[in-house]
Structure formats: C-alpha cells, structure tokens
C-alpha cells in the first residue's frame, strides 16, 4: 500500500471512529479534529483547527493547560499522557460535559504531536448516577427498617447487617462484618448453627427457617424472632442466607408480665388466690405434715381509708417482707384477699403449728411506720392441719379461712379448724348464695303485719316482713338471714327488693280502689348510710306514682346512733320527700333518751322485751317514761310484740299511739292482708 493510500485509510478510520479524536502540536494548537469530535464539542473542524486546544476545556483547566504542556515538554512527569482519565470538556455553547480522555504522543517529522481520544461519558455517568441513586434508595429502605436484616455467607459470617441489627445487638456496623452470627446469637435448644448450615448443604430450597434467638453480643439479651432464607445471587456469586428478624423482647416481657400478674399479687409478689392452691399442690412433699395458716389483717381496710391506698400497699408489702424473711422454716406464702395472707409450712405436730402461728402473729403485729406515725395490724390466725384435717388442698384453704373467722368472732389471736363452726359458716354461705338467687327470682315473699291505733282500734298501717323458704334448709327466719345479708352487699339488694315489692302493693291497692295503705319497710344499717337510697326511693315513688306518705322506713336504734356521727343528709332528703322514719327496737341500743331531741324521726317503736315486762311495776314505769319523753319530743309511739289483751289495755291507758303484735294480727301474705284480687 502506498503512503498516500495509507493516509487515506487513516483519515477514513478517524472519521468512522465513534470517539472524538483530536491531535495537537507542541504548542497546544489543534491540528486534527474528526467528525466524532465535531459532534462532541459542537465546533466545525475549520473553526478549531489552528486554535489552542484550551477552547475545548472549561476555564479552570484551560488556565493551567499551557503550563502543564510546557512542564511536560521540559521533562516533568506526565499527568495525562499515556494515562486515561475522566475530565470535563467544554462545548461550543459553553456547557461542560464529562468525557474520558486518553492521550498518546507521536513524533512526526521531528515534532512531538499529541493525540487525544475523547469518549463521551454523559449517558454513562447518568446511568451510573441512576444506579447509585437506586442503590441509595434501597439502602435507605433497608436501613430504615425496624426489622433486623442480615446476610450470611456459607460460614455463617455476617456480610451485611442493617442499622437495626447493629442497634439491637449494640455493636457498630463495621465490627459486625465478618463475624459468625452464631458467635453473638443463641437459641434455647442451641440449634441455630445446625439449622443454618443445613440450608447451605442441601441442594433443594429448604424454604424458610424460623427461630427465636437471644442476641448475646454486648449483653444485648434481645430476643429476636428470625426468619432465614437462602438466596442465590444469579451470577457466579455463592449463595447466601438472608435473615429478617423482629425484636420481640418487649412483647415477650409483656406476655411474661401478664402471666406473672395472673398468678401473683403485684404489691407483695405473693401468689394470688387463683394460683395458690395449684402452687401448693406442687410444693408439698408426700408423707410430710404441714400447717396452713390463714392470717386476717383486718385493720388493713381502715389503714387504707385513713392513710390512702399507697400507704396501705406499703404496709402490705412490708408485712409480706416480714413473712418472707421472718419465718424459721420453708414456707409458701399467698395473698388471697386484700387483707388476708396464707402461709403453708411443715410442722411436726399441733404444738409446732401453734408456735408457728405465734411467730407469724408477732412478726406481723410489730409496729409499722407511715408518715412518721406508728400503726399496728390487728391480726388473727386460723390454722388447718394437713393431712389431719383434710388432704384436699382447696378444702384445707377453706378450713383455715373458717378457723380465722372463728378466731376473730371469738376475739382470739388464733384458732384451730373447728368442724362445728365450719358447718355454721358453710350454712351461712349457703344462705347467702340461696338468698341472692331467691331475690333474683322473686322467691322471697313480703308479708304484712298491721299496726293498730290503740285508741280507736283501727288499722293505722302495716309493717312489711320478708318470708323465705330455703330450698334445702326450709323456712328461715329473717332474724337469721337478714343479718347475714347485711354483712354483704346483699343487704342493699334485699332492701331494694322489698321497697319495690311494697311500692307495687301500694300502687296495686290504689288501682283496685282500696284505701291507700301506709306500709313500713325495714332498712338494713349499712344501706341506710348510702346516699343512693334516697335517690332510689325518689325514683320508686315516681315510677309507681305513689304518694310519699304511703311509705315509711324503719331503722334500728344502732343506725341512729351512728348517724349522729356521720351524716344526716339522707334523713333531710327523706324528710323533704315526705317519707316518715321510725326507730325500730327502741330501748335495745343503749341510746339515751336525751338523744331524741337531735333526731329527725317521726316514730319510736318500743321493743318487745319492754312490752313483755309491762305487767311488772318496773316494766310499766319504764314504758310510761319512754312514752312521756317521746310525746315531749312530738314523736308517735308504737308498741311492738303485743301478745295479750292486758298489754294492749295497759298501753292504751298509757296513751301509747299504736300497737302491733300477735294479739292483733300475725304477719300474713300481703295480698290477703290488703284484700287484693288477682
Ligand atoms: P322487726 O322489724 O323488729 O320486726 C318485728 C318482728 O317481730 C317480726 O319478726 C315479727 O314477725 C315479730 N313479731 C311481731 N309481733 C310479734 C309478737 O306478738 N310476738 C312475737 N314473738 N313476735 C312478733 P320477723 O318477721 O321474724 O322479723 C325479724 C326481724 O327481721 C325484723 O325485726 C327485722 O329487723 C328483720 N326484717 C324482717 N323483714 C325485713 C325486711 O324486709 N328488711 C329488713 N332489712 N329487715 C327485715
Ligand atoms: Mg321492724
Ligand atoms: Mg322491732
């Protein structure tokens, strides 16, 4: 090939090249500029040939270019020649763009020439940037996950861990890289290394492995629920495990706490009532003897009322601490109600049980200090013996509790389980339960006993008296079951029931055109101090459309005594409504007659025991005095329990207003007494 032909070939090749090819001379003057360079820089060839190559550079490079070239020609090391690098080019329109420049040197006819090959990087860089941005986005998503994310290689070494991972285990990201996960994590069965290694070994996809793991690094102790999966990268990279973990420590702690609270009293840390007997069954050893103590700290409620719940809790916690530390033998403690503890401990015989009870009572009764004041718990202790009293643990608990009640009722520090007392208690509980049902099913009847005007012999009104036939125990006197009801919330329930039945009777009498009756209802002590009572009665009058004068309340002298100290607001309320109030069983409550002037009541009912004694000189004098004083205070007087004509005559002569008793009429079913038709 001839030289001229060779020259043509080169120029054709140069023109065909995709990259810009520019030649310059020693002075930096452009001597060649191919078509690709024209497209790249926006200049036509004839515009740049003969110009300094600086016109193709941004100002900050152009400024130094002559200097660089000069230095190179004088022997300084090349910065760009023979080395490709990324630089910025300057377009004719002044804009700059990235390009990859490699420069070669050629000696031609004794002159040094430089050939620059410029590859446009604009779109390449854009792709790189997009890739970078995409990676950044994914990284952000992974890093901001609350979940723990990691990758493990086939040796179970961490190759990736996100921010949550380092945060939960408390180790910096870089320190985590390369360490085996199994060195900072362990599961309860120590299966983690085996299960994870297995995922690499099998050629099949084993799906996911789920495992709860405790992270041990830096005492993190976090419990993490991990799910691992093998991932194949697609190219020649070896497979890895990808793990997603959720920190369930708090969740587990909450579940544990809930379980604890289900079986423990939060104040003392003792087992609660539900959990105690099961725990007891697991705790006792066959063949040994035990004493179960039921300790009733009855003062506790009063302390709480006086000093507040917080102080009450502090005392209970202190009492529990004393029990836990103060006993000289193994024991299992429980708190079965707000003021009752139970303690089971091994004993050889009854004497030892007794000394244990003494120990407990002494420990608990030592003074407690609240707000600088010393308070004491008044404790009684019931003792049941295992297996002497029973082997059934639930029954044993009942027996110890009944023994504690026995002790309290008899003012003793402690008492052993007594089958007779227990039977009484059981009967009482039976009554309580039965009564509740009887009220709910309206199985309690209301009988009425008339009160007669002693001067005219006419009926003045009636007293409502409840009658109940217990399914097992037969007819039970209200004198027996009312006090039982009164001890619980049943008293209020019973009173409301009777009040409602009586309101129905009055309304029905009026509806049937009978004379409007006046009916007195007995109200239990506890209920009378409840302000809701007057609201209940107000609603009742409204609902049944009955006049207030037709309803009276009987309260015992004891309540009246109590009321002097507490509130008379209920009395005021009732009075405003127009409801009359009588004092029942007057004379039995040791109130002095001088109290009468403070009382806002309408009637006194002299108790039967005074009427029984009426025919004696002493009895007559007493009753006469009561009547005189009552009259002086403008109170109506009723004599209860008149059984003979003589008693009725004497009372009438004494100007006693009303009389009630078997002599006149026994209590009888209300419909019969009022002559109501069905
Ligand atoms: P109380 O209110 O003093 O009622 C008078 C009691 O004496 C009634 O007994 C009555 O049947 C009885 N009685 C009346 N006349 C005579 C008589 O001539 N001789 C004798 N031996 N007894 C007579 P009961 O019905 O057994 O009631 C006893 C107590 O139970 C009542 O005494 C009252 O405190 C209470 N009670 C009765 N019903 C109710 C009620 O509905 N609610 C409340 N809270 N207590 C009631
Ligand atoms: Mg009464
Ligand atoms: Mg009475």
Taking only the tens place, the pLDDT of each residue in 464-486 is: 999 998 888 788 889 989 988 88
At 235, the pLDDT band (50, 70, 90 cuts) reads: low
Reply yes or no on domain 145-252 having CATH 3.30.450.20: yes
Give the C-alpha separation, 245 to 80, whole Å.
51
**Distance between Cα 495 and ligand 1 center (Å):** 14
**Distance between Cα 108 and ligand 2 center (Å):** 138
Instruction: Report which bound ligand comes closest to the CA of 466.
Output: 1
Q: How many helices (H) and strands (E) does the chain have?
A: 25, 29
**Distance between Cα 520 and ligand 2 center (Å):** 8
At 304, the pLDDT band (50, 70, 90 cuts) reads: confident
pLDDT at 283: 93
Do 242 and 229 contact (CB within 8 A), yes or no? yes
- Has this prediction a pTM greater than 0.75? no
Q: Which CATH superfamily is domain 443-674 in?
A: EAL domain (3.20.20.450)
Give the C-alpha separation, 39 to 61, whole Å.
21
Reply yes or no on domain 3-125 having CATH 3.30.450.20: yes
Q: For residue 15, what is the enclosing H or E element? A: helix 3-16
The domain spans of the chain are 3-125, 145-252, 286-417, 443-674
Ligand 1 pocket by C-beta < 6 Å: which residues? 449, 464-466, 477-479, 482, 494-495, 498, 522-524, 554, 584-585, 640-643, 660-662, 667
The rounded percent of the chain whose pLDDT value lies above 70 is 94
Tell me if 286-417 shares its fold with 443-674.
Answer: no
Give the C-alpha separation, 265 to 320, whole Å.
11
Burial class (CB in 10 A: 0-12, 13-18, 19+), 287: exposed
Sign of the C-alpha dihedral computed for residues 398, 403, 406 and 408 taken in this order = negative
Per-residue H/E/C for 42-95: CCCHHHHCCCEHHHHCCHHHHHHHHHHHHHHHCCCCCCCECCCEEEEEECCCCC
Taking only the tens place, the pLDDT of each residue in 377-399 is: 888 999 999 999 988 888 899 99
Question: 668 phi and psi, to 5 degrees?
Answer: -140, 165
pLDDT at 307: 82
Taking only the tens place, the pLDDT of each residue in 496-543 is: 999 999 999 999 999 999 999 999 999 987 777 777 888 999 999 999
CATH of domain 286-417: 3.30.70.270
Sign of the C-alpha dihedral computed for residues 380, 385, 390 and 393 taken in this order = positive
> Which stretch, 88-102, 139-153, 600-614, 652-666, has highest mean pLDDT?
652-666
Among 198-202, 350-354, 458-462, name the one with the lowest average pLDDT: 198-202
Give the C-alpha separation, 118 to 410, whole Å.
112
Taking only the tens place, the pLDDT of each residue in 84-122 is: 788 999 999 999 999 998 888 888 777 888 999 999 888
Q: What share of the chain is helix, strand, coil (3-state, %, to 5)?
A: 45, 25, 30
Residue nearest to atom 17 of ligand 1 (CA): 641
Among 144-153, 332-341, 433-442, 585-594, name the one with the lowest average pLDDT: 585-594
Q: Which atom of ligand 1 is nearest to the CA of 554?
A: 2
pLDDT at 222: 86
Question: 249 phi and psi, to 5 degrees?
Answer: -55, -45
Give the C-alpha separation, 556 to 599, whole Å.
13
Cα separation values, 117 from 14, 24, 25, Å = 10, 12, 15
Residue 613 pLDDT greater than 70, yes or no:
yes
Mean pLDDT throughout 569-592?
82
Give the C-alpha separation, 330 to 347, whole Å.
10
Question: 60 phi and psi, to 5 degrees?
Answer: -65, -20
Give the C-alpha separation, 436 to 374, whole Å.
41
Taking only the tens place, the pLDDT of each residue in 535-564 is: 999 999 999 999 999 999 998 877 776 665
Gyration radius of the chain's alpha carbons:
51
pLDDT at 598: 67
Give the C-alpha separation, 498 to 552, whole Å.
12
Do 673 and 450 contact (CB within 8 A), yes or no? yes
> Which stretch, 338-347, 620-629, 639-648, has highest mean pLDDT?
639-648
Q: Which of 213, 209, 210 is nearest to 221 (CA)?
A: 213
Do 583 and 599 contact (CB within 8 A), yes or no? yes
Q: Which of 193, 167, 164, 166 is nearest to 180 (CA)?
A: 193
> Which stretch, 66-75, 419-428, 584-593, 615-624, has highest mean pLDDT?
615-624
**Residue found under tokens 């629920």:** 225
Burial class (CB in 10 A: 0-12, 13-18, 19+), 675: exposed
**Distance between Cα 605 and ligand 3 center (Å):** 7
pLDDT at 313: 87
């Amino acid at each position: 090939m001839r030289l001229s032909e060779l020259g043509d070939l080169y120029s054709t090749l140069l023109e065909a090249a995709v990259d810009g090819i520019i030649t310059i001379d020693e002075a930096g003057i452009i001597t060649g500029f191919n078509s690709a360079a024209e497209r790249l820089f926006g200049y036509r060839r004839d515009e740049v040939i003969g110009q300094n190559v600086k016109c193709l550079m941004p100002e900050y490079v152009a400024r130094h270019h002559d200097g660089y070239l000069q230095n190179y020609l004088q022997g300084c090391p090349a910065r760009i020649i023979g080395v490709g690098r990324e630089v910025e080019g300057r377009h004719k329109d002044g804009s700059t763009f990235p390009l990859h420049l490699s420069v070669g040197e050629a000696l031609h006819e004794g002159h040094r020439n430089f050939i620059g090959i410029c590859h446009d990087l604009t779109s390449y860089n854009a792709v790189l940037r997009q890739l970078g941005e995409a990676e950044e986005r994914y990284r952000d998503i992974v890093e901001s996950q609350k979940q723990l994310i990691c990758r493990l290689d086939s040796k179970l070494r961490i190759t990736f861990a996100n921010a949550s991972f380092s945060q939960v285990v408390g180790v910096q990201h870089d320190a985590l890289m390369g360490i085996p996960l199994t060195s900072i994590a362990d599961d309860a069965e120590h299966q983690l290394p085996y299960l994870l290694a297995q995922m690499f070994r099998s050629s099949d996809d084993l799906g996911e492995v789920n495992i709860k793991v405790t992270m041990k690094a830096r005492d993190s102790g976090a419990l993490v629920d991990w799910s691992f999966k093998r991932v194949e990268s697609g190219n020649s990279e070896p497979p890895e495990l990808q793990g997603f973990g959720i920190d369930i420590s708090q969740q587990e702690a909450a579940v544990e706490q809930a379980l604890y609270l289900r079986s423990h009293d939060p104040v003392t840390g003792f087992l609660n009532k539900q959990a105690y007997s099961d725990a007891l069954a697991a705790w006792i050893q066959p063949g040994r003897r035990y004493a179960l103590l039921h300790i009733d700290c009855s003062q506790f409620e009063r302390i709480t009322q006086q000093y507040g719940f917080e102080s009450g809790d502090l005392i209970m916690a202190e009492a529990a601490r004393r029990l836990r530390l103060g006993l000289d033998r193994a024991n299992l403690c429980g708190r079965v109600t707000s003021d009752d503890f139970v303690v089971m401990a091994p004993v050889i015989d009854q004497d030892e049980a007794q000394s244990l009870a003494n120990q407990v009572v002494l420990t608990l009764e030592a003074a407690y200090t609240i707000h600088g004041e010393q308070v004491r718990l008044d404790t009684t202790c019931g003792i049941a013996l295992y297996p002497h009293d029973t082997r059934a643990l639930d029954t044993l608990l009942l027996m110890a509790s009944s023994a504690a009640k026995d002790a309290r009722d008899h003012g003793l520090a402690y008492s052993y389980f007594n089958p007779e007392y227990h039977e009484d208690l059981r009967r009482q509980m039976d009554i309580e339960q039965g009564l509740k049902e009887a009220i709910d099913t309206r199985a309690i009847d209301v009988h009425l006993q008339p009160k007669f005007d002693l001067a005219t012999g006419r009926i003045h009104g009636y007293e409502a008296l409840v009658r109940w036939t217990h399914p097992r125990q037969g007819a039970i006197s209200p004198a027996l079951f009312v006090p039982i009801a009164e001890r619980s919330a049943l008293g209020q329930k019973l009173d409301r029931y009777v009040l409602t039945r009586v309101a129905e009777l009055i309304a029905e009498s009026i509806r049937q055109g009978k004379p409007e009756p006046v009916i007195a209802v007995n109200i239990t002590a506890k209920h009378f101090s409840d302000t809701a009572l007057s609201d209940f009665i107000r609603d009742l009058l409204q609902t049944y459309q009955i006049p207030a004068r037709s309803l009276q309340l009987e309260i015992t002298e004891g309540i009246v005594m109590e009321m002097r100290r507490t509130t008379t607001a209920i009395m005021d309320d009732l009075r405003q409504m127009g409801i009359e109030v009588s004092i029942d069983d007057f004379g039995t409550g040791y109130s002095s007659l001088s109290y009468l002037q403070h009382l806002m009541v309408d009637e006194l009912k002299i108790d039967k025991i005074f009427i029984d004694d009426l025919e004696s000189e002493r009895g007559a004098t007493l009753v006469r005095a009561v009547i005189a004083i009552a009259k002086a205070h403008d109170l109506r007087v009723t004599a209860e329990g008149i059984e003979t004509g003589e008693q009725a005559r004497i009372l009438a002569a004494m100007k006693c207003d009303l009389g009630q008793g078997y002599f006149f009429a026994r209590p009888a079913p209300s419909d019969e007494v009022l002559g109501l038709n069905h």
